[in-house]
Amino acid sequence: MASVSKTAFSTTWTFFDGDWHEGNVGIMGPRTHAAWLGSLVFDGARAYEGVAPDLALHCARVNESARHFHLKPLVTVDEWLGLVADGRKRFAPEAELYIRPMYWAESGAPGGVRHDPESTRWCLCVYEAPIPKPVGSAITLSPFRRPTAECAPVGAKAGCLYPNNSRALIEAKERGFDNCLMRDMLGNIAELGTANVFLARDGVVRTPAPNGTFLNGITRQRMIALLREAGEMVVEKSLRYSDFEDADEIFSTGNFSKAMPVTKIDARELQPGPFFRKARKYYWEYAHAA
């Protein structure tokens, strides 16, 4: 299959239909169910500085997402790992990479809405994506909320969940902010538009307790474990926006950026704090020791 628009994206290699393709290879057509009705799941891992922390967990999670979404997890974790190792060889050793395994439905039932699990297809996309520098961001409260399990497939890392976060980010950007805190349907803070979120106050780290409305991120879980192993108190609980307004510091965790400080919430200025620095330090040490 011919590649499409090689120059519009960073250096990219995708394993699809038994071979590696360079560039933004075309994998869907206008009749593909996932292309117009969103039947797609994915995961994201990182390779940088010669390491790929928690790669196996990300490969396992994409298979779990497929099962949750009624797709067929056709690739074993070991097969994913082997393909990733092969794909990384196509980049310079120092390249910072984003690793994205994907499953999607090619076709559906007559009428279109119900996808056919037997039509599941898959690919592995690996591309250059520098890890953002921890320069800080300005956040606010979004009017848009995270759905519940009755409203959307929140148990999967599904592509159809992200347009809601996208419109939240666009709305925040229009008001001069980089990111936004999103609430669940009860009014508790769930996450940022792009990552899991933490606050610290009076020497205690707090983060929203997973309640089925947001992804309990692999990097989030790793950061919590590392902080606790270092003797820090981390509490998972329901948090309101006022808790973040009154925080001593706020930071985020996510696979794409790892750990990032928040330096402004509405009109209030903040500084990157000690817990952010510890979280980032502990993660880098873990990644290189694993």
CA distance 124 to 44: 10
Do residues 161 and 265 both lie within one domain?
A: yes
Q: How many domains does the chain have?
A: 2
pLDDT of 6 > 50? The answer is no
pLDDT tens digits, residue range 276-285? 999 999 999 9
Q: What is the pLDDT of residue 290?
A: 74
Q: What's the predicted TM-score (pTM) here?
A: 0.94
What value does the mean pLDDT take over residues 268-287? Answer: 97
Q: Which helix (H) or strand (E) holds 167?
A: helix 162-174
Do residues 194 and 104 both lie within one domain?
A: no
Do residues 75 and 200 both lie within one domain?
A: no
Do residues 109 and 172 both lie within one domain?
A: no
Do residues 20 and 114 both lie within one domain?
A: yes
pLDDT tens digits, residue range 160-174? 999 999 999 999 999
Residue among 255, 249, 256 at smallest CA distance from 278: 249
Domain of residue 17: give its range.
3-128
The two structure tokens encoding residue 255: 């696979």
Query: 62 — phi, psi (to 5°)?
Result: -65, -35
Band the pLDDT of 8: cuts 50, 70, 90.
confident
Location of structure tokens 């279109």: 112
Given 71, 105, 128, which residue is the final one in a domain?
Answer: 128
CA distance 223 to 201: 17
Do residues 141 and 275 both lie within one domain?
A: yes
Q: What is the CATH number of the domain that holds 215?
A: 3.20.10.10
pLDDT of 2 > 60? The answer is no
CA distance 208 to 191: 8
